[in-house]
Amino acid sequence: ECSDFDECLDLANACTPNSICINTIGSYRCGQCKVGYVGNQTAGCFPRKSCASLSFNPCDGNAHCVIQRNGDVTCACNVGWAGNGHTCGKDTDIDGYPDRSLPCMDNDKHCKQDNCVFTPNSGQEDADNDGIGDQCDEDADGDGIKNVE
């Protein structure tokens, strides 16, 4: 008499990790990824990115998690904070640029320091390129003569 052997219990990784294994009489089958995982038997099953999942929380403490229409998860800084969502810094004038430059400044312009910290200038215009935004540059065109004169 032959008895069935449960490959799902007795073989480590009979199916790709985190996928469903179904024992059958004399054999076994591999099914879909388990709930909360995406992928397939050949590519592997990986944790589904989710704002609710504790194992996947890439957002800054001052950011919130956003699920895009295509299922991607992104982070956005909360109101009063600016940055790329993974790193957020205080944004006093709420124009989307932080009061101080953030470590992500090489990759995202919204991590660069606001060139006019207390005046909203979401365009960061700086006609004379001296690093002081037009909105608070006493000599916006850099010709040596103050705006008021």
H or E stretch at 77: strand 73-77
**Per-residue contact flags (x/-) with Ca ion for residues 47 to 76, judged by CB under 5 A:** ------------------------------
Comparing C-alpha atoms, which of 108, 83, 107 is closest to residue 95? 83
Residue located via tokens 């024992």: 23
* Phi, psi of 48, rounded to the nearest 5 degrees: -70, 130
Task: Identify residue 14 by its one-letter amino acid code.
Answer: A
Is residue 114 part of the contact set for Ca ion (CB under 5 A)? yes
Give the range of 14-22, 29-37, 42-50, 124-132 binding Ca ion by CB under 5 A.
124-132
Is residue 121 part of the contact set for Ca ion (CB under 5 A)? yes
Residue 148: Cβ within 10 Å count: 6
The CB-of-95 to Ca ion minimum distance in angstroms stands at 4
CA dist 31 and 26 (Å) reads 17
Is residue 6 part of the contact set for Ca ion (CB under 5 A)? no
Q: Between residue 88 and residue 107, which ones bind Ca ion under the rule CB under 5 A? A: 91, 93, 95, 97
Contact residues: Ca ion, CB under 5 A? 91, 93, 95, 97, 114, 116, 121, 126, 128, 130, 132, 137, 139, 141, 143, 145
